[in-house]
């Protein structure tokens, strides 16, 4: 609200003793009220972002439960500890380096160069809530990778790769596609193919990065002992608790409502004139709806698809299918119609089933199907967005450049599809060039895989001092657990 003294004073009338002084006082009151509205707007948006950050962080508990249920009981403590350390190590390295590499503008299109150790925060661009939210995303990428290499990886390898991924590899990718200075960001003044890449909440930035990193870790260290028999046939090494898998899945589902809708960062934004019922709060709701529909469709498609292929109704497969649908819709959740989200989830389930078949053929072992789920379904989500992004939604979510290219099937041409194909290629190339050599070096220095003796006995006993679960008989007789010393080869 603007109040000018020279405009207000004449309206106070000739009987006013000091019209200028009265007008000055009245305008000062208007200024105070206006400032309060500004403060309230900042507070609402900051609270919304913080609450979204808490939801995304709760996904770490979901990852922990999902991982624990998907591995055998003898490795439960190990996988739980790695999930804790993903968050802890990721917090320090993202604070020191990651946030700066991702968001430290002004910078070049490749990497940020400000805000190391949160210096100069808060600023007009970022507050502490932005750091917390982006840190929760970074450790989510690291959590994806830990599932791929579960049950056979040395503890030191987890610490090294998690720090490197959250402190450098992931932040650089997020800078490319999310930061205002990023070379493929939709908010860059020089748009790639006049559109930039629309990866709203990170099907590529988060899920593909974590999935591809996990792929190289699992590929380099090889399958678990017993995963394939001497004839090369697949042997199922099922996790020990379907209950924990379901619990973890629902926790991840809950957290995804911070992951996708929260990526708006702000909620108090009007579309058009103020005072209407439609604004960014509506887009936030629509994003939650598209996320829900994609996951539900993928779950049902997986249920019936696996029933046809295996003859069983398998709850673990359904949970993975559900998460595959979420990973796919993450890129386009804010710019597609709800009916399109159903298509996204349906195809995501087929992509996951197909990737799992390929993994069996090539004798690739991923205990949580993380590379197939997050890498494969994440890549499909990027393509899906380029096909179904609606023009009016794109203009609302990415304002300032009306009429920019949108989904191919929605009449927006093929420029967005071209940009998204480039995104898939550069993410694959970047993670290959960084995480591939890291895992290979760890392998060469015998820091990646545990010994066969330790693997057979279980890492809980040999590396963590005891099992996660105790039987009544063990407690009654005081069962003494011993540490199996690793051989020189480990």
Q: Is 275 exposed, middle or buried (0-12, 13-18, 19+ CB in 10 A)?
A: exposed
Residue 2 has pLDDT above 80, yes or no: no
For residue 212, what are its two tokens?
């591809």
Residue 25 has pLDDT above 80, yes or no: no
Q: Report the pLDDT averaged over residues 317-338.
A: 97
What is residue 74's DSSP assignment?
G
Q: Is 71 exposed, middle or buried (0-12, 13-18, 19+ CB in 10 A)?
A: buried
Q: What is the pLDDT of residue 27?
A: 74
Mean pLDDT of all residues in the chain?
91
Q: Residue 244's CB: how many other CB atoms inside 10 A?
A: 19
Domain spans of the chain, in order of start = 46-119+132-265+283-476
At 90-122, the pLDDT tens digits run 999 999 999 999 999 889 999 999 999 999 999
> Of 146, 154, 137, nearest to 98 (Cα)?
137
Q: What is the pLDDT of residue 482?
A: 46
To the question of domain 46-119+132-265+283-476 being in CATH 3.20.20.70, the answer is no
Whole-angstrom Cα distance, residue 118 to residue 87? 18
- Among the ranges given (14-18, 84-88, 189-193, 348-352), the one the predictor scored with the smallest mean pLDDT: 14-18
Q: Report the pLDDT averaged over residues 210-222.
A: 96
Residue-wise DSSP of 314-329? -HHHHHHHHHHHHHHH
At 394-413, the pLDDT tens digits run 999 999 888 899 999 999 99
* pTM of this structure: 0.91
Q: What is the pLDDT of residue 479?
A: 45
């Amino acid at each position: 609200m603007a109040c000018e003294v020279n405009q207000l004073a004449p309206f106070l009338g000739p009987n006013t003793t000091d019209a200028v002084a009265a007008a000055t006082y009245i305008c000062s009151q208007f200024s105070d009220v206006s400032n309060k509205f500004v403060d309230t707007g900042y507070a609402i948006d900051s609270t919304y972002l913080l609450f979204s950050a808490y939801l995304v962080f709760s996904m770490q508990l979901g990852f922990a439960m999902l991982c624990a249920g998907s591995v055998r009981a003898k490795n439960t403590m190990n996988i739980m500890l790695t999930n804790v350390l993903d968050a802890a190590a990721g917090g320090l390295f993202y604070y020191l380096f990651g946030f700066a590499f991702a968001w430290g503008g002004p910078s070049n299109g490749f990497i940020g160069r400000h805000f190391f150790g949160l210096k100069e925060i808060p600023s007009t661009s970022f507050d502490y809530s932005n750091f917390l939210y982006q840190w929760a995303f970074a450790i989510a990428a690291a959590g994806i990778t830990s599932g791929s290499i579960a049950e056979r990886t040395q503890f030191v390898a987890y610490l090294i790769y998690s720090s490197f991924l959250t402190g450098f590899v992931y932040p650089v990718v997020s800078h490319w596609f999310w930061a205002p200075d990023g070379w493929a960001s939709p908010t860059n003044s020089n748009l790639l193919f006049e559109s930039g890449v629309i990866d709203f909440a990170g099907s590529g930035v988060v899920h593909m990065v974590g999935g591809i990193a996990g792929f190289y870790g699992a590929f380099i260290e090889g399958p678990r002992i017993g995963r394939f028999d001497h004839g090369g046939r697949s042997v199922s090494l099922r996790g020990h608790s379907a209950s924990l898998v379901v619990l973890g899945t629902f926790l991840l589902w809950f957290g995804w409502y911070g992951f996708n809708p929260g990526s708006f960062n702000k909620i108090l934004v009007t579309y058009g004139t103020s005072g209407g019922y439609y604004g960014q709060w509506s887009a936030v709701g629509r994003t939650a709806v598209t996320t829900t529909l994609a996951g539900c469709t993928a779950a049902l498609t997986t249920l019936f698809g696996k029933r046809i292929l295996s003859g069983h109704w398998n709850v673990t497969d359904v949970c993975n299918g559900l998460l595959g649908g979420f990973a796919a819709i993450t890129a386009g959740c804010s710019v597609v119609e709800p009916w399109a989200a159903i298509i996204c989830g349906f195809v995501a389930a087929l992509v996951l089933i197909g990737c799992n078949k390929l993994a069996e053929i090539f004798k690739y072992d991923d205990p949580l199907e993380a590379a197939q789920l997050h890498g494969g379904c994440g890549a499909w989500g990027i393509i899906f967005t380029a096909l179904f992004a609606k023009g009016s939604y794109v203009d609302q979510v990415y304002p300032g450049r009306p009429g920019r290219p949108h989904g191919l099937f929605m009449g927006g041409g093929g420029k967005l599809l071209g940009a998204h194909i480039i995104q898939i290629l550069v993410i694959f190339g970047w993670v290959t060039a960084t995480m591939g050599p890291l895992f290979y070096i760890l392998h060469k220095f015998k820091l990646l895989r545990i010994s066969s003796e330790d693997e057979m006995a279980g890492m809980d006993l040999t590396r963590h001092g005891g099992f996660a679960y105790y039987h009544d008989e063990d407690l009654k007789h005081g069962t003494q657990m011993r540490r199996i010393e690793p051989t020189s080869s480990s």
